[in-house]
Amino acid sequence: MTAQQRAAELFARLSAGDRRALARGITWVENGAEEATALMRLAYPLTGRAHVVGITGPPGAGKSTLVDRLAMELRGRGLTVAIVAVDPTSPFSGGAILGDRIRMQRTLTDPGVFMRSLAARGHLGGLSPATGEVVGLLDAFGFDVILVETVGAGQSEVEIMALAHTTCVVLIPGMGDEIQAIKAGILEIGDVFACNKADREGADRTVSEIEMMLDLGHMGRPGINRWSAEPADGAAGGAVPPASDAALRRLDRTGHHTADELAGAAGHMTHAAEHVAARHGTANPGDVSWRPPVLKTVAKDGQGVAELADRLAEHLSFLKETGRWEARREQDAAQRVQALVSEWAARIALSRARAAGDYARLVRQVAERRLDPYSAADEILKHHGGR
């Protein structure tokens, strides 16, 4: 049997609901097996239906436990759930211990749940190289919601934003001061924030620090804001006072800021508001915008999990209502095509250059400083880059 035929055979089983076939297909795409491309080609038309939710946050924040509870909650709402959990690969041996299942005991034998652990395999950014394709297969299989749990993330593991429709950032009390909260990185990518382990001391403070950070860039109440086209009560642009005013008052109340600092903060708020407008929506009359909610959860006993599920669903309706869901499909399609073109073009050009002996010759010249790498790449593409 050729790779094509094996892929077709597996796809037939997979689309008939065979979970073992799904699991094997995931192994193929993870390993870059020769069947993988053929399988993804067959699966692609069936994708684009699932709500992909990213769960990210620092190690030990309780992501796996929260995912387990969330999966249970979603099952209770009649939705089928796939879980993808990424854990780090050892930089020394290339091996990995994938322990997320230990925290996901409640749903393990439920036929409406499928859980797969992935090793990051040296990939930075919080996901594994094949996570996008794995999500594609789970989507094609027909799961309603796909929960993607990243590697324990610090500040810059933001790849999940590009893969998930909705990103939930999980934090815990006592994580750090306001400085941490205004840093760029994972704190910017949350559509929903969960302050987990909220039964611990300091939860209120962590929540208010996140709220404050969000005030810098968002208008309105947590969740969907529908800004009325008609000014209400004479106020411009709707009934909700600009959030930046509230934020400024909050800053002012702390008593630690001079008038100059407050004026500076107001400037930053305007700037930040412009910056996030494209992602979360503006507050012009008639607009619909999203202001990330901040929830308190205690994953170990399920507190706050129903509200989390509500907010994730609300964000999905926001995406659909405002056309962002459709726009995302276009972006994803463009991004996929571009990534494959660069990957395949590089592979073709390099293998031809190797076969012709040019590759070894040029690399040697670069190593000896007789040629620079830019000219070498240029020459390879000039001679071996065509079809």
Partner 1 sequence: MEAASRRKIRVLVAKLGLDAHDRGAKVVARAYRDAGFEVIYTGLYQRPEAVAAAAVQEDVDVVAVSSLAGAHGVLIPQLIQLLREQGADDILILAGGIIPEDEVPALLEAGVSRVFGPGSDLDEIIEYTKVNVRR
Q: Work out whether 105 is an interface residue with partner 1 (CB under 8 A).
A: yes
Hey, what are 242's tokens? 């600009």
Residue 280 CB burial class (10 angstroms; 0-12, 13-18, ≥19): buried
- Which of 37, 56, 65, 117 binds partner 1 (CB under 8 A)? It is 117
Q: Work out whether 159 is an interface residue with partner 1 (CB under 8 A).
A: no
- Which of 6, 121, 328, 336 binds partner 1 (CB under 8 A)? It is 121
3-state secondary structure of 296: strand
- Residue 97 or 367 with smaller CB distance to partner 1: 97
Identify which range of 114-122, 255-263, 298-306, 322-330 contacts partner 1 by CB under 8 A. Answer: 114-122
- Residue 107 or 289 with smaller CB distance to partner 1: 107
Distances (CA, A) of 184 to 155, 170, 274, 286: 7, 16, 16, 30
Q: What one-character DSSP code corresponds to residue 226?
A: E
Measured CA to CA, the distance from residue 39 to residue 25 in angstroms comes to: 8
- Which of 59, 60, 94, 185 binds partner 1 (CB under 8 A)? It is 94
- Which of 45, 109, 179, 374 binds partner 1 (CB under 8 A)? It is 109
> Is 55 within 8 Å of 170 (Cβ atoms)?
yes
Q: Work out whether 339 is an interface residue with partner 1 (CB under 8 A).
A: no
In the shown chain, the binding pattern of residues 62 to 91 toward partner 1, with x for contact by CB under 8 A and - for none, equals ---------------------------xx-
Exposure string over 22-54, b if 16+ CB within 10 A, otherwise e:
bebbbebbbeebebbbbbbebbeebbeebbbbb
- Which of 9, 17, 41, 108 binds partner 1 (CB under 8 A)? It is 108
- Which of 101, 183, 300, 352 binds partner 1 (CB under 8 A)? It is 101
- Residue 115 or 299 with smaller CB distance to partner 1: 115
Least distance in angstroms from the C-beta of 108 to partner 1: 5
- Residue 121 or 328 with smaller CB distance to partner 1: 121
- Residue 15 or 365 with smaller CB distance to partner 1: 15
Of the candidates 18, 7, 9, 22, the one whose C-alpha atom is nearest the C-alpha of residue 137 is 22
3-state secondary structure of 160: helix
Measured CA to CA, the distance from residue 147 to residue 64 in angstroms comes to: 10
Residues forming contacts to partner 1 in the complex (CB under 8 A) are 19-20, 23-24, 26-27, 30-34, 89-90, 92-99, 101-103, 105, 108-109, 114-117, 119, 121
